[in-house]
Amino acid sequence: MTPRTPDVRLGPLPALIFSSRWLQLPLYLGLIVAQGVYVVLFLKELWHLITGAISLGEQEMMLIVLGLIDVVMISNLLMMVIVGGYETFVSRLKLENHPDQPEWLSHVNASVLKVKLAMAIIGISSIHLLKTFIAAGNIGGMPMCTPEQINAMAEVAHKGAATCATLTSTGVMWQTIIHTIFILSALGIAWTDRVMNPPNGHKPKAKWREEMDPASAAAVEHDAHH
C-alpha cells in the first residue's frame, strides 16, 4: 500500500500565487458557452442544407458541407483548449480509468497541447482555403460585390447562385501564403518539442547520465575510456 503523501502547506504569498490559476476558470466557462453557440450555428447551417437540398446546386451544397466541417473542427479545437488547458494549467480532472477519457488526455502537457492546437488550426485553415479555391472560379467572371451585397451575402448564399465575387487574386494568394506559414509554424513547434523531449532511446548523452544512478554512470564512463 502506497503511503499517503502529507499535504504541503504553502506560505501566504505562494498560496496566493498558486491560487491565481483559478482566475482562468471564467475563461474556460466562456469557451463552453462559445461551444454552445457553435452548436446553434451548426444546426442553422444543417437546416439550410436540408431545406435547399433540391434547389441548391452542387457548388453551393459543397460550400455548406465544408462550412459544417469547419464548425466541427473549430468545436474540436475548443474542446482541446477547454479540457487540455484546464487539465494542464488549472486543476486535475481526475479522469483516470474513466471509460470516456480521451486518448490524448492521458499524456497531455503544454508541449503536446501546443502541437495538437497547431495541427487543428492547420485543419481549419485547410477547410477555409478549400472553400476559397472552390469560389475562386468566380474571379474575373463577375463584378466585385458592393458593401450592400456583402452584407446580404448570407441570404444570397442559401437562396441561389452568387451574383458577384468577394475574392481577388491577391486575396487568394495571401490566404495561401498564410496557410503555408501555419504549416511551417506547426513543423517548427513539433521540431522544437522533439528536440526538447527526445523519444526513449534517443536521449542526449547528458540527459541519460543524469537519470542513471552514480554507480552505473561511473561504469559507463569507465567502459567508454577503455
DSSP H stretches of helix in the chain:
12-19, 25-51, 58-79, 85-89, 110-135, 147-151, 153-156, 169-196, 205-211, 214-225
Q: Which domain holds residue 203?
A: 21-93+106-225
**pTM for this predicted structure:** 0.65
Written as nine digits, the cell of 126 is 485547410
Residue 158 lies in a domain: yes
Q: What percent of the chain has pLDDT over 90?
A: 13
Q: What is the pLDDT of residue 40?
A: 95
Number of domains present in the structure of the chain: 1
Residue 5 lies in a domain: no
Q: What is the pLDDT of residue 29?
A: 94
| Amino acid at site 163 | T
Report in angstroms the alpha-carbon separations of 66 from 62, 75, 133, 157, 176. Answer: 6, 14, 12, 13, 17
Computed on alpha carbons and rounded to an integer, the radius of gyration of the chain in Å comes to: 26
Decide: 74 and 53 in contact? Cβ < 8 Å.
no
Per-residue pLDDT tens digits for 197-208: 776 655 455 544
Residue 14 lies in a domain: no
Residue 10 lies in a domain: no
For residue 116, give every residue at least 6 positions away whose Cβ sits within 8 Å of its Cβ, in sequence order, or none.
Answer: 80, 84, 104
- How does 175-186 read in b/e, with b if 16+ C-beta sit within 10 Å? beeebeebeeeb
Residue 117 has pLDDT above 60, yes or no: yes
Residue 80 lies in a domain: yes
Residue 127 lies in a domain: yes
Residue 2 lies in a domain: no
Residue 16 lies in a domain: no
Per-residue pLDDT tens digits for 148-192: 555 555 554 444 555 555 677 787 888 889 989 989 988 888 888
What value does the mean pLDDT take over residues 53-63?
Answer: 82
